[in-house]
Amino acid sequence: MGLRLGLVSLVVLLSVGCASPQQHRRPVPQGHTQASGRHSAYLVTHGLHTGIVVPSEQLQDLLPGLAERFPAGRYLEVGWGDNDFYQAGEKRTDHTLKALFWPTDSVVHVVSVPSSPYRSFPDRVVRRLCLSEEQIRSLSQFLADSFLRDAKGGLLPTPTGRQGVNQFYEATGSYHLFSTCNQWTARGLRSAGFAINPAFKLTNGSLIGFIDSVGAGEEGCRWPG
């Protein structure tokens, strides 16, 4: 009974529907002083899940299909997760167990954010990241690398993807117990120059704790380096 209870607790902790694709390693930008950070990105929590928000044009320059799909929003939020669990309206135990204990296909979830994430997500935990040109480009490339492409480089929206201000797309990488949404988010932060170890970032609380440990500068900015 104790083992079963522990397993259930682990499933509840990690079944956030997101996971980390295997990213190609690239040079990590060096940290910059506060004066050099000119671009805002954001970390947003949704339950146990986290998403990364960047200015729309940063990602649309790399993925023109997003400009056609989301022409109006000021920002785009990107999340990543297990194909079945993330898209399921009703979260079923079999989806959860499959996602955790077998490598499964993945999807990217994109949400159009019309204004500042602080205003758009008033009931969520939001942290602002202030990045240099090099850092925001590196983070945006990390996000773009999470999208699976067809032979012509086009995006692959899923048949069951939501419509309106958000959409699911087929993604790179496999979801499993040791490669989770929050580790993917941590890799994104690392790509932007934050000195973070993704291996130990299993919960959104650990991510927020790390960002808060960096300290907030002017206007709540968290600066890499």
Domain boundaries, given as residue ranges, for the chain: 18-222
Q: Give the DSSP per-residue string, 43-107.
A: EEEETTEEEEEEEHHHHHTT-HHHHHH-SS-SEEEEEEEEHHHHH-SS--HHHHHHHHHS-B-EE
Tens of pLDDT, residues 85-102: 666 655 544 444 444 556
Quick one: pLDDT band at residue 105, thresholds 50, 70, 90?
Answer: confident
Share of the chain above pLDDT 70, in %: 72
B/e letters for 7-35, b = 16+ CB within 10 Å, e = fewer, are eeeebeebbbbbbbbebeeeeebebbeee
74 vs 90, which has greater pLDDT?
74
- Type of residue at 121: F
- The average pLDDT across 181-196 equals 92
Is residue 28 over pLDDT 70? no
Overall pTM surpassing 0.85 (yes/no): no
Quick one: pLDDT band at residue 61, thresholds 50, 70, 90?
Answer: very high
What does the alpha-carbon distance between residue 225 and residue 216 come to, in Å, rounded to a whole number? Answer: 13
Tens of pLDDT, residues 140-154: 999 999 999 999 999
54 vs 199, which has greater pLDDT?
54
What does the alpha-carbon distance between residue 146 and residue 150 come to, in Å, rounded to a whole number? Answer: 13
